[in-house]
Amino acid sequence: MSSLNLDDFTDLIERPAGGVRRGAEERRARQILPPGSLGRLDELGEWLSAAQSAVPVRSVERPRVVLFAGDHGVAELGVSARPAGGAAALVRSVLAGESPVAVLARRMDVPVRIVDMALDCDPAELPAEVAGHRVRRGSGRIDIEDALSAEEAERAVRAGMAVADEEADSGTDLVVLGDVSVGGTTPAATLIAALCGTDASVVTGRGGEAIDDLAWMRKCAAVRDALRRARPVLGDQLELLAAVGGADLAAMTGFLLQCAVRRTPVILDGVVASAAALVAQRVAFRAPDWWLAGHDSGEPAQAKALDRMALEPLLNHGVKVGEGAGALLALPLVRAAAALSAELPERAAAAEAQPEESVGEQSAEQPAE
């Protein structure tokens, strides 16, 4: 029997400070631009202020991209445009600075951390800081077998929690969360379909590198078969992750829950991060208050999950590449919201700062008696 009780998170997670958010709204009402004139930037600034418990809001100085990596056995069915077991090559591309997220992170001066949970390669091929939390080599084929054992699922969730603590302790003030996986959108779609009570065809998309019709039908069939295995364990989220999730998804779930405990805001990337978030929401209903949806990846399962969590994507640019790239593109928007919220002057202060010369010019224009 597992010694990890996910129900404890319900009591451990608190909402962002409501009183602080009201203070941020009142401060915004006093600024020189009318409230609402900045659109969603107003909402973002107030959300971040509440997450930080600070008015005015502090700028985001130490963000980090955190990517959980793993291979999924279901990729053997040809449900992905990438070769089964190929996630390690994607990880090496990120580490070499050659992937989209690496290029964007370099331009934005944001560090990237990769956590290997279940890559199908020798861990000695990777840097020790990447492979240090690995649970197993590849996750099981979820259409016919469990992705993880119960013990592996617990280890993966605990690993995600540990990474969240490490980030909070190191001073990370916002996380961009993504995955590096092959086959990961299939268990993600399965988890979302199971938790939303929908059929396989409703949630099955074509992945980051669009698959053809035959591959899509194979993917639908895999999700359908996995759903049959998921429904009996819907009442236990740890069992659900073991049955049809994977080590990366389980770790992301633990990471998101512990980030909420540690009051660390998170920008979610695509469908895999959204699936882990939906599982985490089922564990602790207040947890989504600490997350933003970075972008709409176009995956139908992601749209279902975000709708269930009442999260509206910040961007809709059709970015499907995964690896946190779409969510990272939303970071400048969050930083802009913080800057405007903190630096726009209040009306009274602006009036007091009016140059004396303009007063003199007005006096000079008065007719002489």
145-158: pLDDT as tens digits: 999 999 999 999 99
Q: Summarize pLDDT for 132-180 with one digit per residue, the tens.
A: 999 999 999 999 999 999 999 999 999 999 999 999 999 999 999 999 9
- What is the H or E stretch that residue 349 is in? helix 347-352
356 catalytically annotated: no
Give me the helices (H) in 96-135, please.
100-108, 128-131
Calculate the average pLDDT of the chain: 92
d(CA 209, CA 181): 12
- Residue extents of the structural domains in the chain: 8-57+341-364, 63-331
**Arithmetic mean of pLDDT, 46-51:** 94
Task: Name the residue among 343, 321, 230 with its Cα closest to residue 278.
Answer: 230
d(CA 160, CA 122): 21
Task: Look up the pTM and report it.
Answer: 0.92
**Arithmetic mean of pLDDT, 236-254:** 98
| The Cα angle at residue 316 between residues 311 and 113, in degrees rounded to 5 | 75
- Per the CB < 8 A criterion, the answer to whether 190 and 51 are in contact is no
Task: Please name the residue that has the structure tokens 């009996």.
Answer: 232
Q: Residue 286, SS3?
A: coil
| pLDDT in the model for residue 368 | 44
> At the top level of CATH, which class does the domain 8-57+341-364 belong to?
mainly alpha
**CATH number at 63-331:** 3.40.50.10210
- What is the H or E stretch that residue 280 is in? helix 271-283
Q: Summarize pLDDT for 288-324 with one digit per residue, the tens.
A: 999 999 999 999 999 999 999 999 999 998 888 889 9
Report the percentage of the chain scoring pLDDT > 70.
93
Q: Which of 46, 154, 167, 323 is the catalytic position? A: 323
Helix 237-244 and helix 185-196, axial crossing angle in degrees, nearest 10: 140
